[in-house]
Structures are given as C-alpha cells and as structure tokens.
Structure 1
C-alpha cells in the first residue's frame, strides 16, 4: 500500500501569518501555482482512493489533478479548530501564551472556543483507522489536508505517542510518502515541492 499525504498550497492566511486553523481561507496566487505544479506530478500516479479536507485551500490544491477517482470530502481531517483566535496573527497568539508556539507539548491546552491539540490528533486518528480498515495492499491513496492532518496521520502510521509529535518543517504542497505492508511502514519519504524546477523530487 502506498499513501501520499499532501499539504495544501500556500493560502492567504499563510501569507499573512494568521492562526487560521479550520477557518476557510483560499489559496493565494502563489498557492495556485504550487497546486498546478504538484498536480502535474501527482497525475502520473494511478491513485485508487482520494480524500480531502473540505476547506477550499485543500480541495483547490488538487483541482487540476487528472484522475478518474472521485474525491471523498472528509470533515474529520480538517485542521485544528483554533476557535476565537483563528483570525489573529501567530506572533500575537504566542504573545498571549507561549505554549501555543509548540502546542503538542501542552496537548490539553484548549484554544478559546476551539479544541485541544489532543482532540485534533484523536479526531484525525479515528478517521484514519476507520477508513484504513477498507484499504488493501494494492491501494494507492492520496490524502489532502493540512499540517495537523499530515502530522497526526504520521504519528498513527509510525505508531508513535503524542509526545513524539513530529515538528520537522512541512512546506506547502509537500508530500509525506509511506509504503506500508502488514500495518508497518517499510519506507518513508518527505517529498518537497521544488520551487525552481516545479516538480517533486
């Protein structure tokens, strides 16, 4: 089984350094260009199942994907619900409480009007485990979402604890690739979008 986790292209919120979370912000001009490039590369892969967060920045990242497979829109793989602070800047959030800079270290810290980090990881992990029951070793799966989506599924696939939450950078339109056999990851690769050549490498 091959699993590709794709982060959405650069959004307007990313460019403004907004907290954003599960609020719906569109792709920026740069994000649209990134999405077009990544779709050219991903269209070479014969996916058997495709899933996407319902947020427009995720859905529109694969708008140009040339695939006959229907995209399943999945509410559970949205980004962290950051509630009342979704429209402030990241520096402003961190000035209110430094723990928000690395929320996985304080996983029960609730975002005002939103959810905790632990709740997000549990939500996305539950979605993954439910869907994965129906997948076979011959499947090639594309999941399009957000940093929180990718990192939570990474935790699940690697059989790690929340304290091992990955904090390596995941750029816009980067892919995390996993080859799985018997519920074990036998190959992992972080595939970065190359801005100069416009292809995955």
Structure 2
C-alpha cells in the first residue's frame, strides 16, 4: 500500500476557532491554487481512498484533490488533525512566557518532547496517527491519500526515520508538500519526503 501524505494548502492567518479550540481557517487564494496543482499532479494515481483531518483547511484541500479522482468521497478522521497547541491557540506569546516560564524555556530550546499546556505533545500526536495507520493498513488498498497537517507529518515521519519526537522540529512540511510511505505488509517505509516540485512559484518558503 502506498500512502501519500499531504499537508493542506496555505491557510488564512486570521484563524477562527472551532468548539474544541483549534484554529480552523479557510485556505487562501494561494492555498486553493496549491491544492489544485497537487490534485492535478497526482491525478494519475488511482486512489482507493482519500482521508482528511476534520479541520477546514484540510477538508478544502482534500475536496479539491478528490475532484481530480472522479469525485472519490473523502473520509474524515479526527485522528489526523493538527497538534493541539493548547494555550498557544488562546494566549499571546508574551502571556505564555509570563504564565508558563518553564514550558516557554522548553519551547525555545526544543530539546525535549514537551507537552503544550492544555494541549498535546508530539508523542500524543504520534500515537493517534499510528492508530489511524493501523486502522487502514489491512484494507485491500493499493494507494491512499491522507490530507493532514504539519504537526502530524513531523511526528509520523520522524518516527519512521528513527528520530525522537523532539527532533521533529528539524522537519518543515510545506503547504501541499507530498510525502510517501509504503506499507509492505510488515512495516512502513519512507519513500520520499516533502515533494514540492509540482507547486512551482506557489511553493511558499
């Protein structure tokens, strides 16, 4: 089974929050173009299933990709939503530095897998993402598409290339970058990471 993992397109910065506190922004015009270029780029891959996070920026991206697959229905799964950054979603950096000084120091150093106050750690994101992969790996699929988020991609790719979770910050998944995993019946293997050649001038650095 080939698993194409795609980060959503560029999203608006003036995020709104859904009922669980996650930023839930729409795609920008650039993000919509990135999704279209990605859908066209992988249109020759005959996907058996397309999975998406339940956050809007991922669903909008996956809907565009699915339009290049004869309208293949997108399946929504909360297990692949973005890391919950807790107080980072509701407080300024200055306030966090004041209220959570020990955490803020960890956040700056990034040499441990810290847990965001009122949020998640990289390990927690990894566990739910691995649960998702476990749920799909035994299905009789040849190719699946998974549209999710930078935090999810960082955690799972780090895991499969043998890096501890605090090293995930050394990875930078681009908007609509494509990473490819292959499940051979026994193990997941990383085939490629963060392909962006299809984005051209829309590869936002």
Deviations 1:84-103 (A, max 9, x none): 32155679867961422465
Extract unaligned runs of 5+ from structure 1.
Answer: none
- Pairwise CA distance, 1:163: 5.2
- Contact 1:38 1:193 survives alignment (8 Å): no
Normalised by the length of structure 2, the TM-score is 0.76
1:123 is aligned to 2:128: yes
1:187 is aligned to 2:176: no
Q: RMSD of the alignment, in Å?
A: 3.0
Q: When the two structures are aligned, how many residues end up with a matched partner?
A: 190
- Contact 2:4 2:180 survives alignment (8 Å): yes
Alignment of 1:1-201 (within 5 A): 1-13=1-13, 22-65=22-65, 66-68=68-70, 69-87=72-90, 97-101=104-108, 103=110, 105-107=111-113, 109-132=114-137, 134-136=138-140, 139-158=142-161, 161-162=164-165, 165=168, 167-182=170-185, 183-185=187-189, 187-196=191-200
CA 90–57 in structure 1, closer or farther in 2 if over 3 Å, else same: farther
Extract unaligned runs of 5+ from structure 2.
Answer: 16-20
- Pairwise CA distance, 1:155: 3.6
Normalised by the length of structure 1, the TM-score is 0.77
